[in-house]
Amino acid sequence: MATRIGQHWSQDPLSGTVAPEPRSLREQLASVPDSLALLESLFTHSPVPYAIFTADGHCLLTNPAFLQMFGVGPPPEYSLFRDELLVKLGYTQLLMRAVSGERVQTPVFWYDVKELEHVRAPAEARRIAISCTGFPLVSSSGGVTHIAVAYKDMTAELSAREAAQAERRNLLQVFTQAPVAINVLRGYELRYEFANPLLQKLMGGRELTGRTQEEAIPDLSPELLSLHRGVLETGERAVVQEYPVTIDYEGHGRVETKFWNIIFEPLRDERDQVDGLVSFAFDVTEQVLARQAVENQQKWLEAVLDLMPMPVVMADPGSGDLNFSNAAADRLYGGNIPKDVPRAAYAEHFHVTDMAGQRLSVEDIPSKRAARGERLDGVEVHWHTPAGRYSLSISSEMLPAMHGHPSVVVIPFLDITRLKTVEQHLQEAVRARDEFLSVASHELKTPLTSLGLRLQSLARAVLADPESELARRHGREVEAMRRQVTRLSELVDGLLDVSRISTGRLRIAYEPVDLPALVREVAARFELEAARSGCELHVTQAEGFTGTWDRLRLEQVVSNLLSNALKYGAGAPVHIDVALGGLGARLWVKDRGIGISPEAHARIFQKFERAVSERHYGGMGLGLYVTRTLVEALGGTIQVVSQPGEGATFQVELPLQPAR
């Protein structure tokens, strides 16, 4: 037999090989010089914390690793079997079994020296997680005289485990309280491992956990099952939007359809193999039904708009691109109006000009202007379409976002092509009328002037010899004819003024004018006419002041107002007042005649307008129109204050100097 340290060698009778025979530690140590020093060195330098206790639990020895772990050694009175933490955890009975010769192992537990009342722990001592292994130490006589305890530091491992558990608890809490239907399915058979309360509620409280999808929800569509299995097979995430699921949700025989947004995430095991999936389902039924209702409402609205005879288009507020046109607008275009046209192609599809025929740039097209926030109100343009050229009056309103719809610019427009044609014809007729009035007035002026001169000569002859046969037989007729010719001449002068105003040939010649003196002069000329009308003329004696006006036109204004007052206020006094005030100078002409209704106050200053019937009062309705035009040409204003039966007061205000 060969002898080696620590073992015997023997031959295997079957194989013939020489195998070692184990020897006891005592036998091995017997051949080692100073074996006690060897064991002491192993005990001292071991990285494993050790403590040796007597059979009654008092500590005899601790190695440096023990002190490094706990920071302090146990005091003499300390007993392992009376340790407060071990007693509290119930591990003392377990360790006492080592005294009976057993090797025992405690579970991992948290140990904090600072919690021990009989140990004064240093400040740097920390709370640690440990696992204790206790084993008996047997004497040469075979009895257990001591026990040894090896300590293992499990702090990092237990902290990681507890953190993972806390994270798992937090995740479970999130899944449980989340307003999202969540489930975890395992295996190809799709067995429920987890279903949060919301999913169970949506499924009518069905039992899900532990059952396959087909067992728990037998009416689930094959398409949805295939979608789940596709995630398992490919290992790729899948997302579906507004997916309709038609099942008996409550399990009471009432089938209904709900819409879901679902996210499928694959789950992998430690070998990175897909062994399940988690799904997050959002019930979007209300949103889908609301949107469908809005879409149906929009379709209904579009159908209503298509029945409207007024063309309407809608544009996006950001880009100005058209996104809707009703049937009337499409008819004008000659087909469906292009939508969402790129800016580069806009000019190709939309040819718009102003009323003068100048083509508008893309940014000046009404839809683009309205999209920028400009409110259009009766903007007139020409629209050149494949169906022809149309004159349009365009308006716009910004409709804010509401009921699920984004904001939109609504652009209705009127086809005013016929109106523009009629307007053009009317303008041509007015031009023809003005031209006729101008020609006729000039043609009438010459013979009337000649006739007036002859009548004035005849009137002077009558006045020169009142007792003559001519005076007795024709004196009254000559005076009547002279007045009529004068009246006719005034009418022709009025037509000439209208012609000048309409054709822009009215000229103003400024010069210094004493207004009070001018008013007195004009009033003096009307004394005979006032006497025939039974009116008394009262002129306020204002102090003389001078302004820069057109004397001839100013005389015409005063004459027209006096003539008007004598005509409608016959038989009652007429007052004329002149004073400084207002814009500079102020003139009042007041009568006590028939008066004017309030609704006619603005109308009487228009061309050929009258406030009373022409059967009772003569004239062509030009006097006040000419008067207003002349006053405004001089930079002034005119207004009337009147009520029916209470007379009328015409007030003129004039600046003392013309505007430069």
Q: What is the pLDDT of residue 404?
A: 66
Contact 371, 358 (CB under 8 A): no
Amino acid 208 reads L
Q: What DSSP line would sit under 8-56, residue for residue?
A: EEEE-TTT--EEEEE--HHHHHHTSTTHHHHHHHHHHH-SS-EEEEETT
Share of the chain above pLDDT 70, in %: 85
- pLDDT average, residue stretch 612-624: 59
On whether the CB atoms of residues 627 and 561 are closer than 8 A, the answer is yes
pLDDT band (50, 70, 90) for residue 590: very high
Give the pLDDT of residue 503.
Answer: 61
Residue 616, pLDDT score: 44
CB-based contact 31:5 (threshold 8 Å): yes
Q: Is the pLDDT of residue 243 over 80?
A: yes
Average pLDDT of the chain?
83
Residue 413 has pLDDT above 70, yes or no: yes
In this prediction, residues 8-28 reach a mean pLDDT of 61
Kindly state the average pLDDT of the residues 131-141.
89
Residue-wise pLDDT for 620-634, tens only, equals: 667 888 888 889 889
What is the predicted pLDDT for the residue at 615? 44
pLDDT in tens, 457-471: 777 777 777 777 767
- What pLDDT is recorded for position 80? 92
Q: pLDDT tens, 295-346? A: 787 788 788 888 888 899 988 888 888 888 999 999 989 999 888 888 778 8
Residue 442 predicted with pLDDT over 50: yes
Tens digit of pLDDT for each residue in 327-336?
999 998 999 9
For residue 134, is pLDDT > 70?
yes
pTM over 0.85: no
pLDDT of residue 603: 84
Output the pLDDT for position 117: 80
- Backbone phi, psi, residue 262, to 5°: -125, 135
* CA dist., res. 391 & res. 352, Å (int): 10
Those residues with Cβ within 8 angstroms of residue 552's Cβ, 6 or more apart along the chain or in another chain:
509
Bigger pLDDT: 545 or 179? Answer: 545
**46-50, 154-158, 235-239, 542-546: which range is least confident on average?**
542-546
Please tell me which of 94-108, 208-222, 409-423 the model is most confident about, judged by mean pLDDT: 94-108
With a CB cutoff of 8 Å and minimum separation 6, the contacts of 453 are: none
Q: Which pLDDT score, from 0 to 100, does residue 63 have?
A: 93
The model's confidence at residue 611, banded by pLDDT at 50, 70 and 90, is low
Minimal CA–CA distance to 451: which of 475, 473, 495, 482? 482
Rounded (10°) CA dihedral 286, 290, 293, 297 = 170
Phi, psi of 391 (to 5 degrees): -95, 125
If one compares 392 and 507, the residue with the highest pLDDT of the two is 392
pLDDT of residue 259: 93
Judge residue 314's burial from the number of C-beta atoms within 10 Å of its C-beta, 0-12 exposed, 13-18 middle, 19 or more buried: buried
**pLDDT bracket for residue 4 (50, 70, 90):** very low
Mean pLDDT, rounded, for 571-592: 90
pLDDT of 648 reads 93
pLDDT band (50, 70, 90) for residue 54: very high
Is the per-residue pLDDT at 492 higher than 70?
Answer: no
Q: Whose structure tokens read 């190695």?
A: 63
Distance set, CA 71 to CA 74, 156, 424 (Å): 10, 18, 110
